[in-house]
């Protein structure tokens, strides 16, 4: 791997993919952008690890003023949303940022989600007396970076690693006020089991497998373990074939793993099926469970484009060129 940022060396790719990458770079040198993109599409079709190689596009995107991943995401959201409402012609992916809209769509398309226990327009409207007090997840309908998510098991909020006390409602209200999500609609879901929960008692919060996809292809995935201080124990990164990559985040502690967790291949397959329905550059959040992949959410604005390595920026921008907004 290249120490600059987790890049798979060309020699680790299938020969046909390596040749297609070489052809694409040569086309860029000739000024044939369309031919280069076609070659890169061929490379990732042969070996999805080709997404993580350097296509040579980044300098061109920088010169065109299109090299900031964050700026491009901000522009995308502004084009999808106008005055707080969906813009005419906004893609389906924009609508599915709402967890409630996602539930209806996922049920139609056959993507399991965590079992819904109850929902309410606000915490005040929630029937706390009827609510189960263990193995549940309480979350705002619309939030980011897991703000306001409470994972309850054994009287402990495992996201904050603190006891909730005798008054769950008071604890949740205080948590939401501190996280700035008070007043939002609320979902209560059953806590699902991680694919290794039976043999790893340290995994109470199921690990997220966050798959970065475009046009029916998965490029790489974050496997995020939140069972630690500040719900950030570690992050392992893999290409779509399960080969390990170096760090992609400047915020999360990186822990290289030689192999992805059980269920990774099935999760990638589910992500690619979903990406074929929603071809935009997206991050799809799944949980690998003993029963198979469970969809968590669809994210069009991952981490707000912040705290990413040069490798991550370059790879995401390359992906975006396959299905520009």
Q: What DSSP string describes 254-280? A: B---SSPPTTHHHHHHHHHHHHHHS-S
| Mean predicted confidence (pLDDT) in 19-46 | 97
Give the pLDDT confidence of 296-317 residue by residue, as tens digits: 999 998 888 888 999 999 999 9
**Do 286 and 155 share a structural domain?**
no
* Closest-CA residue to 208 (of 271, 125, 119): 271
Any domain includes 301: yes
Any domain includes 75: no
**Do 153 and 63 share a structural domain?**
no
**Do 203 and 274 share a structural domain?**
yes
Any domain includes 300: yes
d(CA 236, CA 246): 8
Domain boundary among 137, 159, 190: 190
**Do 124 and 145 share a structural domain?**
yes
The tokens for 166 are 């005798």
d(CA 130, CA 143): 25
Question: What are the angstrom distances between the C-alpha of 157 and each of 133, 234, 272?
Answer: 11, 19, 33
Q: By residue range, what is the domain housing residue 244?
A: 82-112+197-320
Give the pLDDT confidence of 115-145 residue by residue, as tens digits: 999 999 999 999 998 887 789 999 998 767 7
**Do 127 and 209 share a structural domain?**
no
**Do 223 and 96 share a structural domain?**
yes
Residue 6 has pLDDT above 60, yes or no: no
Give the pLDDT confidence of 213-235 residue by residue, as tens digits: 999 999 999 999 988 877 778 89
d(CA 197, CA 40): 39
d(CA 113, CA 107): 8
Quote the distance between the C-alpha of residue 13 and its chain's center.
25
**Do 140 and 60 share a structural domain?**
no
**Do 147 and 15 share a structural domain?**
no
**How would you classify residue 49: left for phi > 0, otherwise alpha for psi between -120 and 50, otherwise beta?**
alpha
Any domain includes 180: yes
Query: Residue 38: which pLDDT band, with cuts at 50, 70 and 90?
Result: very high
**Do 120 and 23 share a structural domain?**
no
d(CA 50, CA 38): 13
Domain boundary among 157, 190, 223: 190
The CATH code of the domain that includes 269 is 3.30.470
Dihedral angle of Cα 126, 84, 81, 248, to the nearest 10 degrees: -50
Any domain includes 297: yes
The strand pair at 156-157 and 217-225 is best described as unpaired
Contact yes or no for 149/198 (Cβ under 8 A): no
**Do 280 and 216 share a structural domain?**
yes
Any domain includes 5: no
Any domain includes 33: yes
**Do 243 and 101 share a structural domain?**
yes
The residue length of the chain stands at 325
Mean pLDDT rounded to a whole number for the chain: 91
d(CA 252, CA 262): 22
d(CA 225, CA 79): 33
Query: Residue 174: which pLDDT band, with cuts at 50, 70 and 90?
Result: very high
C-alpha dihedral sign at 223, 227, 229, 230: positive
Contact yes or no for 137/150 (Cβ under 8 A): yes
**Do 135 and 99 share a structural domain?**
no
d(CA 78, CA 87): 9
Any domain includes 155: yes
Kindly report the number of other CB atoms within 10 A of residue 213's CB atom: 28
- 3-state class of 259 per DSSP? coil
Total domain count for the chain? Answer: 3
């Amino acid at each position: 791997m290249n120490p600059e940022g987790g890049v798979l060396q060309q020699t680790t790719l299938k020969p046909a993919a390596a040749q297609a990458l070489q052809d694409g770079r040569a086309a860029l040198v000739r000024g044939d952008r369309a031919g280069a993109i076609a070659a890169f599409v061929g490379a990732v079709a042969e070996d999805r690890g080709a997404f993580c190689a350097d296509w040579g596009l980044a300098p061109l995107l920088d010169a065109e003023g299109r090299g900031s991943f964050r700026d491009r995401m901000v522009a995308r959201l502004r084009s999808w949303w106008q005055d707080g409402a969906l813009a005419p012609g906004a893609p389906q992916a924009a609508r599915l940022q709402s967890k409630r809209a996602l539930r209806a769509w996922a049920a139609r398309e056959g993507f399991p989600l965590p079992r819904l226990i109850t929902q309410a327009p606000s915490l005040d409207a929630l029937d706390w007396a009827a609510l189960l007090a263990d193995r549940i997840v309480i979350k705002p309908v619309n939030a980011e970076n897991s703000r306001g998510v409470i994972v309850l098991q054994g009287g402990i909020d495992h996201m904050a690693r603190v006891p909730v006390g005798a008054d769950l409602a008071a604890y949740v209200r205080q948590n939401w006020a501190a996280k700035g999500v008070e007043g939002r609609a609320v979902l209560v879901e059953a806590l699902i089991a991680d694919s290794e929960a039976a043999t790893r008692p340290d995994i109470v919060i199921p690990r997220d497998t966050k798959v970065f996809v475009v046009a029916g292809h998965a490029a790489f995935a974050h496997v995020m373990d939140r069972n630690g201080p500040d719900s950030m124990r570690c992050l392992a990164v893999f290409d779509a074939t399960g080969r390990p990559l170096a760090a992609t985040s400047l915020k999360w502690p990186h822990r290289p793993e030689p192999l992805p967790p059980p269920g990774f291949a099935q999760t990638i397959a589910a992500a690619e099926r979903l990406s074929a329905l929603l071809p935009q550059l997206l991050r799809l959040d799944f949980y690998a469970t003993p029963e198979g992949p469970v969809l968590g959410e669809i994210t069009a604005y991952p981490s707000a484009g912040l705290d990413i390595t040069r490798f991550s920026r370059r790879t995401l921008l390359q992906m975006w060129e396959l299905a520009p907004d």
